[in-house]
Amino acid sequence: MFNSISWQTYLTILVCFGATYYAISAIILYHREILQLVKGRSAPTSEIQDDRKSTSTVTVIGASKDSHTSHPSSTPIDSDEFILSSSNDQFPESIQTTPSSGPANLIIGSVSDLLNELKTLIQLCEEYKSTKEECTSLVAASFLKYPHLKGTTYQHAISAFVCEESKDHLSFTLTLAEVQEWWS
Residue ranges covered by each domain of the chain: 1-48, 103-181
Model confidence, pTM? 0.45
Q: How many whole angstroms separate alpha carbon 150 and alpha carbon 184?
A: 8
User: Residue 88 above 60 pLDDT?
Assistant: no
- Confidence (pLDDT) at 24: 95
Tell me the pLDDT tens digit for each residue of 18-63: 999 999 999 999 999 988 888 886 555 544 555 445 545 556 776 6
- Confidence (pLDDT) at 18: 97
Q: Which of 116, 124, 137 is nearest to 169 (CA)?
A: 124
Of 163 and 86, the structure prediction assigns the larger pLDDT to 163
